[in-house]
Amino acid sequence: MRGHLAVATEAALAQGDLRWGIVGVSLRSPDTRDALQPQDGLYTVVTRSDVQGRSHESLQVIGAVKEVLVAPQQPGKVLERMSAPEARIISLTITEKGYCHDPASGQLRLDHPDIVHDLAHPEAPRSAIGYIVRALALRRTLGRTPLTLMCLDNLPSNGRVLANAVRDLATVIDPTLADWIATHCSFPCSMVDRIVPRTTDADRQSTSQALGCEDAWPVVCESFFDWAIEDHFVAGRPDWSLGGARFVDDAEPWERLKLRMVNGVHSSIAYLGVLAGWAFVDVAVRNPALRRHIEALMQDEIEPTLPALPGLDLATYRAQLLARFANTALHHRTLQIAMDGSQKLPQRLLSTVRERLQSGLPIRRLAVGVAAWLHYLGGMDEQGAPFAVEDPLRQPLMALHQAAVADQWSDASVAGLLGFAPVFGDLSTQAAFVASVKAALHSLRVHGVVAALEAH
Ligand code: CS2
pLDDT of residue 146 exceeding 80? yes
360 and 410 housed in the same domain: yes
Going from the Cα of 127 to the center of ligand 1, the distance in angstroms, rounded, reads 22
Mean pLDDT of the chain: 97
Whether the CB of 193 sits within 6 Å of ligand 1: yes
CATH number of the domain at 377, please. Answer: 1.10.1040.10
Q: What is the mean pLDDT of residues 249-264?
A: 98
329 and 359 housed in the same domain: yes
Structural domain of 338: 252-455
288 and 236 housed in the same domain: no
231 and 260 housed in the same domain: no
pLDDT band at 55 (very low <50, low <70, confident <90, very high): confident
pLDDT of residue 134 exceeding 80? yes
What integer pLDDT is reported at residue 348 of this predicted model? 98
Please count the structural domains in the chain: 2
Q: What is the mean pLDDT of residues 140-160?
A: 97
> Is 117 within 8 Å of 128 (Cβ atoms)?
no
What integer pLDDT is reported at residue 204 of this predicted model? 97
Going from the Cα of 177 to the center of ligand 1, the distance in angstroms, rounded, reads 34
- Provide DSSP, 240-300: GGGGTEEEES--HHHHHHHIIIIIHHHHHHHHHHHHHT--BHHHHHTSHHHHHHHHHIIII
Task: Give the number of the atom of ligand 1 that is nearest the alpha carbon of residue 348.
Answer: 6
pLDDT of residue 290 exceeding 80? yes
434 and 305 housed in the same domain: yes
Whether the CB of 281 sits within 6 Å of ligand 1: no
pLDDT band at 94 (very low <50, low <70, confident <90, very high): very high
Residues 6+ apart with CB under 8 A from 80: none
pLDDT band at 103 (very low <50, low <70, confident <90, very high): very high
307 and 374 housed in the same domain: yes
CATH number of the domain at 134, please. Answer: 3.40.50.720
What integer pLDDT is reported at residue 53 of this predicted model? 77
Boundary (domain end) residue, out of 195, 218, 248? 248
- Provide DSSP, 349-387: IIHHHHHHHHTT---HHHHHHHHHHHHHTT-B-TTS-B-
67 and 132 housed in the same domain: yes
Whether the CB of 155 sits within 6 Å of ligand 1: no
199 and 320 housed in the same domain: no
Task: Give the number of the atom of ligand 1 that is nearest the alpha carbon of residue 344.
Answer: 5
Q: What is the mean pLDDT of residues 266-283?
A: 98
Q: Summarize pLDDT for 370-396 with one digit per residue, the tens.
A: 999 999 999 999 999 999 999 999 999
Q: What is the dihedral of CA 83, 5, 285, 280, to 10 degrees?
A: -60
76 and 122 housed in the same domain: yes
381 and 319 housed in the same domain: yes
Boundary (domain end) residue, out of 233, 248, 263? 248
Give the CA count within 13 Å in the CB-facing half-sphere of 455: 14
Q: Summarize pLDDT for 304-329 with one digit per residue, the tens.
A: 999 999 999 999 999 999 999 999 99
417 and 444 housed in the same domain: yes
191 and 228 housed in the same domain: yes
What integer pLDDT is reported at residue 52 of this predicted model? 76
What integer pLDDT is reported at residue 51 of this predicted model? 78
What integer pLDDT is reported at residue 207 of this predicted model? 97
- Which of 259, 266, 282 to probe ligand 1 with, by most ligand atoms within 8 A of CB? 266
Whether the CB of 228 sits within 6 Å of ligand 1: no
pLDDT of residue 456 exceeding 80? no
Boundary (domain end) residue, out of 248, 269, 296? 248
Task: Give the number of the atom of ligand 1 that is nearest the alpha carbon of residue 196.
Answer: 9
What integer pLDDT is reported at residue 144 of this predicted model? 97
